[in-house]
Amino acid sequence: QVQLVESGGGLVQAGGSLRLSCAASGTIFSLYSMAWYRQAPGKERELVAGITSAGRTNYADSVKGRFTVSRDNAKNTVYLQMNSLKPEDTAVYYCNADYYYHVYWGQGTQVTVSS
């Protein structure tokens, strides 16, 4: 059974920074593509950033230049560094692991950005 546990969320002021972590257990982490999604109240869940097993990254246009996704395979952890945060970044952020038909989700961590 694969477990994904997010951490690092919290309350920050606009312009501030947060670093989210997603720790994986029970999986061959290095083989998985990892991603961060977010969902704000009343809105659909959206892809924020992704990183493949080879280290290639992609970002939603709304976060390009502000967010950076990275992974440390030795620690079985993926990170999302969030800078220049805006109130519209407020959402529950979810970690996702994907290896062919094997897909797993974390429980989410709340990020709130105050104006």
Condensed to tens digits (0 to 9), the pLDDT of residues 56-82 reads 999 999 999 999 999 999 999 999 999
Whole-number mean pLDDT of the chain? Answer: 96
DSSP 28-94: -GGGSEEEEEEE-TTS--EEEEEE-TT--EEE-TTTTTTEEEEEEGGGTEEEEEE-S--GGG-EEEE
